[in-house]
């Protein structure tokens, strides 16, 4: 992988490699764009197969955060960070504090928060060493776990897709195949269950599958089978690139809408979904609930859950707006979303920087 060429192609500003021998930290911080404000994006811990895979994931996720924050109307740019390792076995306080010092060294260009493999307790360790961490626990004055807000936003986006496809937001009797039952997937399943949907679920961790089967009466399938089950909605809520040459031919869904980042392995896969008449909710539009909630911590008046919830509910309108642009211009929804995000960034970048003292 030619990293600098990739960064030049997609407009990234900065890539930071972080290492601490004593704690085992092997981390990466990617900053994509800071036109709208400091780069905000979560910290992910994953057992990547290679350093190259981790770097590419950080770069792709950082770019996604720029677009996500733009469409969500936030005054924030996009960044992301990853730590290479197994979050269930390798994570420790020293590692997280070492990472926090790297964040601090960027002097506010990047603000970190939770993502896959990282929870609010972990962010508490990070923020010992940096002023630039959000998504902190409620007892510490923060917003706590952003997962319920991400799930709420995805649910609202699914309703917007349902309205487009079936002329109604009623999910009673609809079948939803949910891939990934972590915090976001779990809360999303609860919303869907309460709305009367039938759930088909899968996850790498059997304990999480058993929990949903026991609590919500979900039907469990293997991780490979989830793509081909008969369903109305396929909801990917784990890692990215799950919409690809292998999975598209077996999909039986009418809608693809979930919280996972970078669901399309390549742009052409979004084109193919459109050709097949499958409505795709662009990931960074529908999954913005968590970052909207986390960003509320940065407001001058402090965090307000009611205000944050109201903004997350607005994801219905954001998804509906993207669908409308796609229909009017005859383009795939992912291109419509990109156009919306890029337009705002270009407008703000063009503003004359008048000196105000």
Structural tokens at position 356: 């105000």
Q: Answer yes or no: 80 catalytic.
A: yes
| Catalytic residue, candidates 80, 91, 174, 311 | 80
Cβ atoms 27, 94 nearer than 8 A: no
Return the DSSP state at 201. Answer: E
- Cα–Cα distance between 294 and 146 in angstroms, integer? 7
Tokens found for residue 227:
């793509």
Q: Give the CA diameter of the chain.
A: 62
CB-based contacts of 314, cutoff 8 Å, min separation 6: none
| Residues whose CB is less than 8 angstroms from the CB of residue 231 and which lie 6 or more positions away in sequence, other chains included | 175, 176, 177, 200, 252, 253
The answer to whether 174 and 163 are in contact (CB under 8 A) is no
Residue 74, CA atoms < 13 Å, CB-side half-sphere: 34
Q: Parallel, antiparallel, or unpaired: how do β-strands 39-40 and 43-46 relate?
A: unpaired
Contact between residue 312 and residue 73 where contact means Cβ atoms under 8 Å apart: no
- Report whether 120 contacts 135 (CB < 8 A): yes
Q: Look up residue 229 and give its two tokens.
A: 């089950």
Neighbour-count burial of 300, counting CB atoms closer than 10 A to its CB (0-12 exposed, 13-18 middle, 19+ buried): exposed
107 vs 131: CA distance, rounded Å = 9
**What whole-number distance in Å separates Cα of residue 159 and Cα of residue 57?**
29
Q: How far apart are CA 339 and CA 342, in angstroms?
A: 5
* Matching residue, tokens 């799950």: 242
Can you tell me the distance from the alpha carbon of 136 to that of 149, in angstroms, rounded to the nearest whole number?
14
Catalytic residues: 80
């Amino acid at each position: 992988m030619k990293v600098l060429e990739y960064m030049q192609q997609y407009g990234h500003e900065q890539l930071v490699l972080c290492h601490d021998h004593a704690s085992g930290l092997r981390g990466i911080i990617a900053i994509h764009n800071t036109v709208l404000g400091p780069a905000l994006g979560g910290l992910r811990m994953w057992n990547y197969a290679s350093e190259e895979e981790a770097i590419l994931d950080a770069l792709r996720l950082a770019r996604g955060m720029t677009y996500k924050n733009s469409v969500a109307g936030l005054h924030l740019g996009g960044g992301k960070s990853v730590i290479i390792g197994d979050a269930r076995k390798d994570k420790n306080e020293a590692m997280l504090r070492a990472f926090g010092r790297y964040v601090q060294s960027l002097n506010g260009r990047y603000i970190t928060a939770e993502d896959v493999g990282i929870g609010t307790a972990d962010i508490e360790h990070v923020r010992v060493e940096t002023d630039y961490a959000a998504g902190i626990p409620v007892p510490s004055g923060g917003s706590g776990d952003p997962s319920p807000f991400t799930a709420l936003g995805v649910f609202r986006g699914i309703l917007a897709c349902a309205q487009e496809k079936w002329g109604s937001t009623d999910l009673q009797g609809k079948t939803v195949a949910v891939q990934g039952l972590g915090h976001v997937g779990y809360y999303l399943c609860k919303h869907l269950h309460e709305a009367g949907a039938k759930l088909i679920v899968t996850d790498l961790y059997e304990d999480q599958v058993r929990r949903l089967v026991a609590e919500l009466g979900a039907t469990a399938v293997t991780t490979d089978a989830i793509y081909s089950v008969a369903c109305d909605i396929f909801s990917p809520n784990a890692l990215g690139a799950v919409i690809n040459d292998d999975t598209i031919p077996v999909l039986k869904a009418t809608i693809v809408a979930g919280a996972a980042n970078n669901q399309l392995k390549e742009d052409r896969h979004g084109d193919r979904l459109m050709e097949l008449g499958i409505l795709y909710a662009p990931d960074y539009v529908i999954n913005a609930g968590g970052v909207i909630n986390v960003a509320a911590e940065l407001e001058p008046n402090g965090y307000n859950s009611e205000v944050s919830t109201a903004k997350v509910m607005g994801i219905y309108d954001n998804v509906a707006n993207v669908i409308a642009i796609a229909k009017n211009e005859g383009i795939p929804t992912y291109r419509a979303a990109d156009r919306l995000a890029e337009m705002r960034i270009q407008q703000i970048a063009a503003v004359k920087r008048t000196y105000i003292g």
